[in-house]
Every structure is written in C-alpha cells, then in structure tokens.
A = this chain, B = another copy of it.
Amino acid sequence: MSTDLSRLSLNQETIKQWSLPELTEGCVKAGIGQVGLWRAPVQEYGVERAAQLVKDAGLTVTSLCRGGFLTAVDPGERARALEDNRAAVDEAAALSTDTLVLVSGGLPSGDKDLYAARERIADALAELGPYAQERGVRLAIEPLHPMFASDRCVVSTLSQALDLAERFPAEQVGVVVDAYHVWWDDQAPAQIARAGAGGRIHSFQLADWITPLPAGVLLGRGQLGDGSVDFRTMRRQVEATGFDGPIEVEIFNEGLWARDGAEVLAEVASRYLEHAC
C-alpha cells in the first residue's frame, strides 16, 4: 500500500474542533503539508494573522471555502453578494491560495426557476471572474448533490457547472470535483474528462456517502471507506486528464468533530491511503 501523503490536503472543516494553531501544528506533526480553509474561522483569527500562521508552518493553502450564494434577484441583495465575494477573493489572495470554492446558492423564496437562477450566477461570474484573475485566484464552481438544489446550490451536476464555467476563461472559472456530490452521476466520468481537458479541475475533494442521512442532511458525510463511493476509480478518472493537484478531504460529520483531532487526522490519512491511493 502507498504511504505517500504528499497529495493529501486536510480541509479544516473535517476537524472543526481544532483552532487554526491546533490545525497547523497537527498537520505539521502528521506530515500533512496542505490544508483547505474556511472563511469564518480565518476571519475570526484574522486573515493576515492566519496567512502568517500557515506560512510559518510551511503549509500550502489549497482552497478557501467559500464564496457564492449568487442567486438573489433583489438588486440590493445581489450587490451585497458581489461585495462579499470580492472580499472572499481578497482573503484567498491573502492566504496565497489560488482557489476560491463557490457554493452557488439556492432558489430565492417562492421561486421555482432553476434555469433563471443559474443565469444569474453567470451574470455574477462575469463580474467576479476578472476581479479574481487580477488577484491570482480562480473561482471554482462546486456542484452540490441534487438534494441541495433548492436551498443551497442550484448547480447540481458537473455538466451544469461546466456549462457555466466554460463561458469564461479557465484561469477565471473552473469547477470542484467533490466525490460526495457527484458519485451517483453516471455522467460524471465524461464530465471529469471534459473539465480536465479544459484545465478546469480547480479542486478535487473527497468524502464518503453514508446513510441514513441526518435531519437537514448537511452533516451526513462519512469518513473515507465508510460508504458507497469508489474513490480510487474517480481519482483515476481525474488523473487521466493530467490533474496532479491536491486531493482534499472535506468531511462534515458530528461524530468526527466529537473525537480527538489528532486521532481523526491519523484516521483520515490511513483511510486516504487505503481507499484513494
């Protein structure tokens, strides 16, 4: 079995119980050189201070989560969303990561038009793309599982994400391939090839699909190997396109959050080697 952890990136939400200093220290101790960060804990700690912390620890930030929520109709709400996304780009640049993950947003209250909502995302990307590119940041549209289509993300498939992304240069807009969200989709292999051919795989993330889903379904992700996702096959598909970037493990699971962080990280590493290498 492989013992190579060089491609592994730990998304901080996987060990949410850790503060940023605990995270950097824990990763260094475990030999993990890459982390994915979230805006809220970074802002709480201070963006510049967080950037210095990870730099001092010798860690690379593989992505920042998240911008997005670009589906509002109301002009004031739209302006605030764009403003917030520009701030997210600035934070990504400060952290020296080239990838800002976008969760596109759901349907406005009472609205039933998924197509129009996706067009509003395209309008927003036209404004945000150049702003991001100037700062060395790529916007990565993350298709979320269709169970989030109404309230979180009207972009449900890689195909839809690429239909949006391809309207813009690959240096501005690409996609996230998150195994948890696309594992069920028989179109995913072809869309991974399409994304890779266009240089648009900006992030590759892993979490396992387990059931039963908890109420609200957001925190239902499983540790690698506990569920139904064939990570090794998906990794082969992603790498067949030439992708050799970080492989980020991002699990939202209250069971993991209740445990000792170092123990969870050791488990993530061993499961990654066992199921995704």
Query: A185 contacts the other chain (Cβ, under 8 Å)?
Result: yes
Query: A230 contacts the other chain (Cβ, under 8 Å)?
Result: yes
Give chain B residues whose Cβ lies under 8 Å from the Cβ of A156.
Answer: 184-185
Residue of B nearest to A182 (CB): B146
- How far is the CB of A232 from the nearest CB of chain B, in Å? 9
Give the residue among A183, A186, A212 with the most B Cβ atoms within 10 A: A186
Give chain B residues whose Cβ lies under 8 Å from the Cβ of A115.
Answer: 186
Give chain B residues whose Cβ lies under 8 Å from the Cβ of A209.
Answer: 149-150
A212 lies within 8 A of B215 (CB) = yes
- How far is the CB of A149 from the nearest CB of chain B, in Å? 4
Q: Of B184, B214, B227, which one neighbours A146 at CB under 8 angstroms?
A: B184
Query: A211 contacts the other chain (Cβ, under 8 Å)?
Result: yes
Q: Of B146, B214, B229, which one neighbours A112 at CB under 8 angstroms?
A: B229
Residue of B nearest to A213 (CB): B217
Residue of B nearest to A209 (CB): B150
A113 lies within 8 A of B230 (CB) = yes
- How far is the CB of A153 from the nearest CB of chain B, in Å? 10
Query: A147 contacts the other chain (Cβ, under 8 Å)?
Result: yes
Measured in the bound complex, the distance between the Cα atoms of B164 and A186 in whole Å is: 13
Give chain B residues whose Cβ lies under 8 Å from the Cβ of A229.
Answer: 112
A227 lies within 8 A of B147 (CB) = no
A227 lies within 8 A of B145 (CB) = no
Query: A216 contacts the other chain (Cβ, under 8 Å)?
Result: yes
Could you write out 29 A-B pairs with CB less than 8 Å apart? A107-B228, A112-B229, A112-B230, A113-B230, A114-B184, A114-B186, A115-B186, A145-B146, A145-B147, A146-B147, A146-B185, A147-B147, A147-B213, A147-B217, A149-B184, A150-B184, A150-B209, A151-B211, A151-B212, A156-B185, A159-B186, A160-B186, A212-B216, A212-B217, A213-B213, A213-B215, A213-B217, A214-B215, A217-B217
